[in-house]
Structure 1
Amino acid sequence: MHRRILDRLNSRLERVLPEQRLFMKSNTETRFVRLRPLTQASVLAIGAGLFGWSMVATSMLFIDGISSGGAAQNERIAKAAFERRLDALSKERDVRAAEALAAQDRFQTAMAQVSQMQSALLASEERKRELETGIGVIQSTLRRTMDERDAARTKLAKAEGVDTPNGATQAARNEDMAKTVDFLTAALGQTAQQRDDADSDAKSAQLEVDRIAMQKRLMEERNDQIFTTLEGAVKISMAPLDKVFKQAGMDPDHVLAEIKKGYSGTGGPLMPVSLSTKGTADLGGDTARAEGILRQLDDMNMYRIAVDKLPFAMPVKANFRFSSPFGMRWGKMHEGVDMAAPIGTKIYAPADGVVIAAEWERGYGNIVKIRHDFGITTRYGHLSKILVKKGQKVSQGELIADMGSTGHSTGPHLHYEIRISGKPINPMTFIKAGKNVF
């Protein structure tokens, strides 16, 4: 039954794929191999499948390379735009702070003027009361003097034997009283005018104080908006950096503490500060927020320094293929990843460090070992050329070697290892975390 099905398939395929015979001749005899239509169809199907698989795999690798390059470019553009925006906000904050200080000075000046005007107004009121008291004394004195004068005139007239009519004495008295009232009226009018002028100046000064206070409130609200924007921007910027170190299995606080130990120099003249009633430094609300933002910016700067000191960058910048992952391979532990590319492909240091070995080592061939901070070392094996020497300090992105196929190798590639305290870890942990930075 099975034979008859095969014969039917061969007979149908023979129209398209006729039977082929491959002859092999020797000195004594001639043999041939028969390639039936079904056999030919099977070979063609297998070849077409392999060709299709290779095309799909190549397309996927090509698309992945393009998309990863575009994402990295977009991240660099976004990072540059954010830094420019942060600089602009910082400059605007400084301008607003200067304006706030100027407004504060104007406010203090206006308050001093108001105080002077209030003092002048109080002095004017005091002079008015003193003048009113003096006028009362003058009036009583004038009345007593006029009475004494009239009495003296009467006595003089009697002594001379002349009768002085009461009308004349009363007229003189009325005239003196009128002059006195005119003098007092003029003095009171002048005092009232001075009081009104002082009151008007005080009201004008109060309006100016209110206007300056309004400007100060508006400026404080604007400063609050700027500080809120800066705080949000710094928080957004810090989140990816925290994520980078956590993905790499490292404590961000420990990383910051270690970096600050090497960047802790201080100096400069010490300036006096104002103290609160509790004896502590008197920092206003905006000053405290500014200090907090500056501390976060300092942490961000420490993070960026740490990124340069940890192997987050790729050692191969040219096109390559991950030819072997970290883990068990052929029954043995493969303690790194293999990156395959042509011989001579440039190898770069993924972080700052010191070269601790640049030599030939069994299995690795030509190898370079670099010691980084936090007990991390990296290894680069199967090199065709070593471009650094033992004890040399290298920076992130510095050329250290050329790719090759020395040692136990089946073809040109880089064997890349990362070890923490001598223990090998999967380099893809740092490579994947580094995608958030580079």
Structure 2
Amino acid sequence: MSRMFKAVNASLARFLPEQTLTLKTRVDQRELTFTPLVRLFLLSGTTLALGWLVIATTATISSSFESDSAQARSDSLQDAYELRLAELAAERDEFGRQTQAMQDRFTLALQQVSAQQDELIDAMTVQNEQEITLFALQRKLNGVTAERNAAQAGLDGFQAEFAASAEGAGPRESTEHELKLTVNALNSVLDETLQTRDASIEYTETLELEIEKTAQRIRLDAQRRDRMITQLEEAVMISFQPLEAMLKSTGLDVDSLIANVRRNYSGSGGLNGALDEASFIGMDAPDLRLEALMRDLDTLQIYNITSAKLPLSMPVLTSFRYSSSFGPRNGKLHKGVDMAGPMGSPIYSTGDGVVTFAGVQNGYGNVVMFQHDFGFSTVYAHQSKLRVTKGQRVARGERIGDMGSSGRSSGSHLHYEVRNDGTAVNPMDYIKAGQNVF
């Protein structure tokens, strides 16, 4: 082995000659001899150390670059996420504005239907009165014309009689005094007849002018009525379409609901009970358009009544968040939706109905229960204050209580249920159906 090391050292001596390192101290002196083989080991170790240092440094720099790149990607994804959130918020706000605009148009259309109906009835009444007045004026004109013709005939008769008297006076032996009396009498009658005729002509002209004015008013009123009918038709269309779409989106048998309401309100006589079938007696063919409009108004009223009886509006109108949805929860069926909001937030009835319970129940705390038509009922639980009593009839949109945390509750919220024939159904199906109308 010693000979092998010597041989290796001898071979390496040409490249790595032996070197001696002298270490001096105050009391001693030492020498360290580095043979070619030792120098090779030291050089190799140094090279490996430098290589490892270079590799480690490169890896560190690369890792730093990768970290920066990952951070950049993360920042980019975060920016994209925030941008998408902003877009979604903008879309939500735009949808909210569109929904509000639709609700405003719907409300305005209903108001126009109510206001213009009264105007239409007034216009029809005025038209009927004017037609009666025109008929009376025409009859009077005919009578005056007959009187004028009779007066003219009388005048002609007097003139003929006067002429005959004048011609016959010659052969007779009448005195001059008698002749003058006769002439004066005839002249008096003639003057009176002429005055009557002139007065009749003047009155006739006045009547003809009044008749023309009345006819002009009738034509203007007819045009105004046609414009009102057109506006009413447009208002009915705007009002009817969202109501029909809303009822159909509930998945209920709309035809059956409408038939039920129509039977119960068969005596209403159309919108607000203002017109009935007697209003159409004697109508001409052009007035069939008005009759069709009245039927549409009646249908609109029936749809409006039907929608009011269903729980389709929001029970909470102030700021809130959905904290729990309808469906399975902790192994049980959560029978409603939870709307979390500030303590005391107003709670409103979602449809016309009668209060069947208002008090405290286990779990529900302060709770109000409603019975609506068509087998529907609603529950409003965990309230802090109740504002209705059992047996009270409440309309849709009336305040019935305040949000709270009574009963089995972890915080201020409303637990809202909708039941159909006693079975809990998803309230969101009905809230979504009515969201563009109420």
TM-score (ref. length: structure 1) = 0.59
Which of 240, 243, 268 is matched with 1:241 structurally? Answer: 243
Quote how far apart the aligned CAs of 1:434 are: 0.9
**Helix, strand or coil at the partner of 1:233:** helix
Matched, 1:375 2:402: no
Aligned pairs, number: 370
Contact 1:312–1:430 (Cα < 8 Å) also in 2: yes
* TM-score, scaled to structure 2: 0.59
Give the CA deviation at 1:73. Answer: 4.0
Q: Please point out which of 134, 146, 153 is paired with 1:126.
A: 153
Confirm whether residue 113 of structure 1 aligns to residue 140 of structure 2. Answer: yes
Look up the SS of the partner of 1:15 in the other structure.
helix
| Structure 1 residue identity aligned to 2:148 | L
What is the CA-CA distance between 1:375 and the residue it aligns to? 0.9
SS in 2 for 1:378: strand
* Structure 1: tracts of 5 or more residues without a match: 1-7, 19-36, 150-171, 267-272
Aligned residues of 2:112 and 2:235 also touching (Cα < 8 A): no
Q: What aligned pairs does 1:27-426 form with structure 2 within 5 A after superposition?
A: 55=82, 59=86, 62-63=89-90, 66-79=93-106, 81-82=108-109, 85-86=112-113, 89-90=116-117, 92-93=119-120, 96-97=123-124, 99-100=126-127, 103-104=130-131, 106-128=133-155, 130-131=157-158, 134=161, 138=165, 142=169, 145-146=171-172, 193=194, 197=198, 198-199=200-201, 201-252=203-254, 254-259=256-261, 281-282=281-282, 297=297, 300-322=300-322, 338-339=337-338, 341=340, 344=343, 346=345, 348-353=348-353, 354-355=355-356, 359-360=361-362, 370-379=370-379, 383=382, 387=386, 391=390, 393=392, 395=394, 396=396, 397-399=399-401, 402=404, 406=408, 416-426=416-426
Alpha-carbon distance between aligned partners in 1 of 2:405 and 2:299, rounded to the nearest angstrom: 37
CA shift digits 1:167-193 (9 cap, x unpaired): xxxxx99x99x9899889968975994
Distance in 2 (CA, whole Å) between partners of 1:315 and 1:343 is: 14
Q: 1:202 to 1:435 in 2, by over 3 A?
A: same
Residue 123 of structure 1: how far off its partner (Å): 1.3
Give SS of 2:246's match: helix
| Whole-angstrom CA distance in 2 between matches of 1:389 and 1:188 | 89
Q: What secondary structure does 2:373 align onto? A: coil
1:326-382 CA distances to partner (integer Å, 9 max, x unpaired)?
Answer: 67899x896766446368585544224334696336xx999875432111233567x
Alignment deviations for residues 237-288 of structure 1 (CA, whole Å, 9 cap, x no partner): 222222221222345554445446666788xxxxxx9x99xxx955678998
Change (3 A) 1:368 1:295: same
In structure 2, distance between residues paired with 1:373 and 1:102: 44
CA gap 1:71/1:135 in 2 versus in 1, 3 angstroms: same
* 3-state secondary structure, aligned to 2:362: strand
Deviation at 1:88, TM superposition (A): 5.6
The Cα of 1:316 is off from its aligned counterpart by 3.6
**SS of equivalent to 1:14:** helix
Amino acid at match of 1:225: R
C-alpha RMSD of the superposition: 5.5
Q: Secondary structure at the match of 1:311?
A: coil
SS at match of 1:399: strand
Match of 1:436 in 2: 436
* Mapped contact 1:388–1:401 kept (Cα < 8 A): no
